[in-house]
């Protein structure tokens, strides 16, 4: 049961639905229940709402409305492009960064069980693609490349435009997962596309929208085999009756996120700096520090403390945080992201992720630092460190 006074520091896992988003969604869950494919008044109203949401999502990422394919979330958007584009390519090498979300990793692993050859690119100690390794990989002629815009665990940004530009010269198709970037940094699909990015995956629930809806922004020159066949919705790329309420919510969430991006970014950057100063004073290691990052994310470890243990104790103290590989932090294996960055297993097992949202305050950060210090002192006394 959630305590009323809980401080929520886990916005990279999901965000609360913005009240304006909820308000926009509600009519589509009650009186306005039409199927967007129906020709009558109910259906036409639903179609109009879906089209308006498409315009809003497209505007938020500098894309054309006809490039947006609504999906059941970010994972589906990643799967749709990677498997769907691969279906039309001659199997060969597929290269991904080693810090991708499992939606990308598992998709390419499925391809690798067929005729594809999977290559994991190298990253440096801050989690950025190693340029020399990347150039060498390109010389081997990969057909498909996937590198995310922003990492969900560390917040580290990749220079996707430059990477895609080099890939384009080699004729490779390029996909980027923008799920953790949307609403945190400006995204312009038009200019990314001009640099050779063919597809961008998005999700609504990381920016105040509902869960279970997202989009693939796809270059129409690339042929994609749908994952779901049927009634031919979404230009035949994603059959199934549209989830009108969720799509409407996604549209409004995108519009709000972009409207307030600059203001939110500077506020969250100040919170991050305050937290990092406090953590550094406690001797914590900050992962990805010094690299360009989204403003809301801090991933750290305190040597000798297990991340799972820390987040359990901090949960009791009223703080909702994530440990290690935090989208589904059920296993206690060290994060594949930190391992790829060369972080030793012991320290990686200590990883804790704080991800701020627009409702968080300086006072919450200060109180969290006190709670963290108290927790580590108590654990030391109990001798539960390792």
User: Which one of residues 36, 179, 256, 299 is an interface residue with ligand PLP (CB under 6 A)?
Assistant: 179
How near is the Cβ of 147 to ligand PLP at its closest, in Å? Answer: 11
* Shortest Å, Cβ 183 to ligand PLP: 12
Nearer to ligand PLP, 177 or 306 (CB): 177
Say whether residue 233 binds ligand PLP (CB under 6 A).
no
Interacting residue with ligand PLP among 146, 152, 198, 360 (CB under 6 A):
152
Q: Which residue has the tokens 């639905």?
A: 17
CB nearer to ligand PLP: pick between 74 and 251: 74
Each as own residue / partner, the long-range contacts of residues 313-318 (CB below 8 Å, 24 or more positions apart, any chain) are: 313/375, 313/378, 313/379, 314/368, 314/371, 314/372, 314/375, 317/371, 317/374, 317/375, 318/3, 318/5, 318/6, 318/7, 318/371
Interface segment toward ligand PLP; rule CB under 6 A; list 106-114, 174-182, 301-309, 372-380: 174-182
Active-site residue among 170, 254, 299, 327? Answer: 327
DSSP, collapsed to helix, strand or coil, labels residue 288 as coil
Q: 45 or 163, CB closer to ligand PLP? A: 163
User: Considering beta carbons, is residue 45 or 200 the nearer one to ligand PLP?
Assistant: 200
327 annotated active-site: yes
| Subset of 322-341 contacting ligand PLP (CB under 6 A) | 327
Range 246-305, binding ligand PLP (CB under 6 A): none
Tell me how far, at minimum, the Cβ of 60 lies from ligand PLP, in Å: 16
Only one of the segments 61-69, 128-136, 173-181, 237-245 lies at the binding site for ligand PLP (rule: CB under 6 A); that segment is 173-181
Rounded Cα distance between 145 and 156, Å, is: 18
Is 220 exposed, middle or buried (CB count within 10 Å of its CB: 0-12, 13-18, 19+)? exposed
Q: Rounded to an integer, what distance in angstroms lies between the CA atom of residue 191 and that of residue 169?
A: 16
Q: How far apart are CA 326 and CA 331, in angstroms?
A: 10
Alpha helices, DSSP H, located in the chain: 19-25, 41-60, 74-86, 102-112, 131-139, 160-169, 189-194, 244-259, 261-281, 307-316, 336-340, 345-348, 362-382
Binding mask 7-36 for ligand PLP (x = CB under 6 A): ------------------------------
Which residue in the shown chain puts its C-beta closest to ligand PLP? 74
Query: In angstroms, what is the minimal distance from the CB of 52 to ligand PLP?
Result: 22
Burial of 205 (0-12, 13-18, 19+ CB in 10 A): buried
Task: Give the DSSP letter of residue 97.
Answer: -
Cβ-contact 69, 263 below 8 angstroms: no
Ranges within 63-92 binding ligand PLP (CB under 6 A): 73-75, 78
Figure out which of the listed residues 210, 214, 288, 334 binds ligand PLP, where binding follows CB under 6 A: 214
| CB-CB neighbours of 371 under 10 Å | 17
Residues near ligand PLP (CB under 6 A): 73-75, 78, 101, 103, 148, 152, 177, 179-180, 203, 205, 214, 327
Catalytic positions: 327
């Amino acid at each position: 049961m959630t305590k009323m006074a809980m401080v929520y520091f886990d916005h990279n896992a999901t965000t609360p639905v913005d009240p304006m988003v909820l308000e926009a969604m509600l009519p589509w869950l009650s009186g306005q229940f039409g199927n967007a494919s129906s020709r009558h008044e109910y259906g036409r109203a639903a179609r109009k709402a879906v089209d308006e949401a498409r315009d809003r999502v497209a505007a938020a990422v500098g894309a054309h409305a006809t490039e947006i394919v609504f999906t059941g979330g970010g994972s589906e958007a990643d799967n749709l492009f990677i498997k769907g584009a691969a279906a039309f390519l001659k199997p060969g090498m597929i290269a991904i960064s080693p810090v991708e979300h499992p939606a990308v990793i598992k998709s390419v692993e499925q391809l690798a069980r067929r005729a594809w050859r999977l290559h994991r690119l190298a990253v440096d100690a801050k989690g950025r693609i190693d340029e020399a390794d990347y150039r060498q990989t390109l010389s081997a002629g990969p057909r498909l490349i996937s590198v995310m815009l922003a990492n969900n665990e560390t917040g580290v940004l990749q220079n996707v435009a430059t990477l895609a530009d080099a890939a384009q010269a080699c004729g490779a198709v390029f996909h980027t997962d923008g799920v953790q970037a949307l609403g945190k940094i400006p995204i312009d699909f038009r200019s990314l596309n001009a640099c050779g990015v063919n597809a961008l995956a998005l999700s609504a629930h990381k920016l105040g929208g509902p869960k279970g809806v997202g989009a693939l922004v796809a270059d129409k020159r690339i042929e994609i085999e749908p994952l779901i066949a049927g009634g031919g919705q979404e230009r035949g790329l994603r059959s199934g009756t549209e989830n009108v309420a969720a799509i409407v919510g996604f549209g409004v969430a995108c519009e709000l996120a972009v409207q307030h991006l600059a203001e939110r970014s500077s506020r969250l950057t100040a919170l991050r700096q305050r937290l990092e100063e406090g953590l550094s004073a406690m001797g914590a290691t900050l992962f990805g520090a010094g690299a360009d990052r989204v403003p809301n994310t801090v991933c750290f470890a305190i040597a000798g403390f297990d991340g799972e243990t820390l987040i359990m104790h901090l949960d009791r103290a009223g703080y909702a945080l994530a440990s290690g590989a935090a989208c589904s932090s059920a296993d206690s294996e060290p994060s594949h992201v930190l391992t790829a960055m060369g972080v030793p297993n012991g320290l990686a097992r200590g990883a804790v992720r704080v991800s701020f949202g627009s409702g968080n305050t300086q006072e919450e950060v200060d109180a969290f630092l006190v709670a963290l210090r108290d927790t580590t002192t108590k654990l030391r006394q109990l001798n539960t460190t390792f």
